[in-house]
Amino acid sequence: MRRKDFEALGEKIESIRLDASLEREKALLSKKDENGVFHVTVFLASEDACFDAYSNKQELNGEVFNYIERVVSEFPPDAPLSIDFELGNSLKERQIEIASLYRNHYLFSFDSLGAKKKSSHIAVFIMTQVGILFLLAFAIVSAFSNQLGSKDPGLNFLFLIATELLSTAEWVLFWEAFDKIFFDSAERKKERFLTGRLASAKITFKDIDGE
């Protein structure tokens, strides 16, 4: 393929990317009203689509939440939200119930994530303290190894194994604590922020037939 062909192909790919970006932007703008509120429209034609099959109609279908979260993930993080349920005939009288189940789901998730955050902090504290103990044990064993190990090859071998085990355990604990502080914590914070947004989102209802 000649250089001109490569350049033409590159321009075509860039054009496709630009078109896709513009289409995505148009799609987002179509979900934004004049007040700056972003809308998620959820069509629920029947009870089967609305409720979880194994909850005796005490929980909304998990696919409802998955869909909402997938759509909201495309919105700006600080955008106000409105969840617009469009209901079939069999659900017209269950608006309050649906709103309550929706709200309770995200409030419970928000509280659960808060509890996980606290337990994570406790776990980090414990792992750090145990890691420090292993570090001290490593220092003590190393000191004994330097004083006594050289006199007995067998003892020296045992000291070597002990120091390796202590060193490995200490670094594993410190790394796990580091991971929970910087990576796991950041992900949980992001998830809790999204859950809080969804819990506080405005909820509206209308019939699928537009009434």
Rounded Cα distance between 175 and 179, Å, is: 6
Assigned token pair, 114: 């808060």
pLDDT in tens, 166-201: 778 777 877 777 777 666 666 777 888 888 899 999
User: What Rg do the C-alpha atoms of the chain give, in angstroms?
Assistant: 28
Cβ burial of 50 (10 Å; 0-12, 13-18, 19+) is buried
What mean pLDDT is predicted for residues 46-70? Answer: 87
Rounded Cα distance between 62 and 174, Å, is: 37
pTM recorded for the entire structure? 0.61
Cβ burial of 5 (10 Å; 0-12, 13-18, 19+) is exposed
Question: Which has more confidence, 91 or 29?
Answer: 91
Assigned token pair, 42: 């959820």
What mean pLDDT is predicted for residues 151-161? Answer: 67
Q: If pLDDT is split at 50, 70 and 90, which confidence band does 131 have?
A: confident
Whose structure tokens read 């071998």?
157
Q: Residue type at 22?
A: L
The percent of residues in the chain predicted with pLDDT above 90, rounded, is 11
Which segments of the chain are extended strands (E)?
Answer: 38-44, 81-87, 202-207
Rounded Cα distance between 126 and 177, Å, is: 9
pLDDT of residue 149: 53
